[in-house]
Chain A
Amino acid sequence: MQDRIKRIYVPMTETGFYILFCLQNEMHGYNIGQRVKQMTGGAVTISPGTMYGTLAKMEKDGLIRFVREEEKRKLYVMTELGREVLEIELHRIERLYKNSKGEYADGR
């Protein structure tokens, strides 16, 4: 089951990646949207419909969990499974980056 989730989620979409990345800390949807805008200098925006749908899906798949509610806003945080998925994805991105700079695993 967990392996299936990992296969589905990696490689991640930009939306998925940034949401999961932000949820290393407790946050609600709009917070995440603002944070992503700042982090990427406006290059990545996540609109409310997409935000809501992605959060709901990730919660259902067990990558994030609901923590508490603050004035109708739901706060989420990453789960252990979410952390594993994020790590796999980060390694993948690192490999892509290194390879693109001419650094290869076999050293050639």
Chain B
Amino acid sequence: MADRILFRFWTIMDYEEEEQFLREQHQNGWRFKRYLLPGFYFFDRCTPEDVVYRLDFDQAGTGEKPGYLQLYRDYGWEYLFDVNSFSYFRKPADIIEDDLEIFSDNESRLEMIGRIYRRRMIPLMIIFLCCVVPQLIIQSNNWLDRGDVGARAFTLIFLVFFMLYVWLFVHCGRKIRRLRQKYERDV
């Protein structure tokens, strides 16, 4: 078990907030141990310390992982684990003149946004368009035609899914735009 369990909701485009959150926890004496589930954090008590956390998204293909992690280790990063295709790294911030970034140019930051978009957002859009939307239409038609409990329940379930997806697309779309603007400014 852990000394503290926290819940915090974040989407795939909020990785910078996630880095900042974990850093602040560590500064307050809570070292990130692991996730129970994505969003449920396990923390251990530790001496307050400024430790930088960084997330990389799905860079190394299968079989490439050992070399990828070795490279990060050579640069002084401690590898924690992979969650949701994000690789978690951390490094004490007090090492003088050491590099605390995992990307040294905006091009590679934009590429990471592109990877998240291709491998997460597009599949989600396909599920939305090919499953959630048709199901919502079918079930609501059933409700209108027959009006039975099953059709009502399914209509409501898919309506909730529909709204969740729409919210997610709006949120992530805004986030992607903001991040792109931030990093495209001085490419």
Chain B residues contacting A69 (CB-CB under 8 Å) are 67
A52 interface residue per 8 A CB criterion: yes
**A45 to B108 alpha-carbon distance, docked (Å):** 13
A95 interface residue per 8 A CB criterion: no
- Is the beta-carbon distance between B99 and A47 smaller than 8 angstroms? yes
CB < 8 Å A-B pair total: 64
Within 8 A of A (CB), among B53-73: 54, 56, 59-60, 64, 66-72
- Is the beta-carbon distance between B74 and A73 smaller than 8 angstroms? yes
Known: A53-B111, A54-B108. A48 touches B71 (CB 8 A): yes
B104 interface residue per 8 A CB criterion: yes
- Is the beta-carbon distance between B103 and A49 smaller than 8 angstroms? yes
Chain A residue nearest to B87 in the complex (CB):
A49
Known: A49-B59, A52-B59. A13 touches B70 (CB 8 A): no
B107 interface residue per 8 A CB criterion: yes
- Is the beta-carbon distance between B75 and A13 smaller than 8 angstroms? no
- Is the beta-carbon distance between A47 and B101 smaller than 8 angstroms? yes
How near does chain A come to B97, taking the closest CB pair, in angstroms?
Answer: 8
Within 8 A of B (CB), among A15-30: 15, 28-30
- Is the beta-carbon distance between B108 and A53 smaller than 8 angstroms? yes
**A47 to B108 alpha-carbon distance, docked (Å):** 10
Chain A residues contacting B30 (CB-CB under 8 Å) are none
- Is the beta-carbon distance between A53 and B59 smaller than 8 angstroms? yes
Extra pairs beyond A15-B104, A46-B104, A53-B108 (19, CB < 8 Å): A13-B105, A15-B107, A28-B71, A29-B71, A30-B74, A42-B97, A45-B99, A47-B104, A48-B71, A48-B72, A48-B77, A49-B108, A50-B108, A52-B68, A54-B108, A56-B59, A72-B66, A72-B67, A73-B71
Interface CB pairs A-B, < 8 A, 26: A13-B105, A13-B107, A28-B71, A29-B71, A30-B75, A45-B104, A47-B103, A47-B104, A48-B74, A49-B54, A49-B56, A49-B102, A49-B112, A50-B102, A50-B108, A52-B71, A53-B59, A53-B108, A56-B59, A56-B64, A71-B70, A72-B67, A73-B67, A73-B70, A73-B74, A74-B67
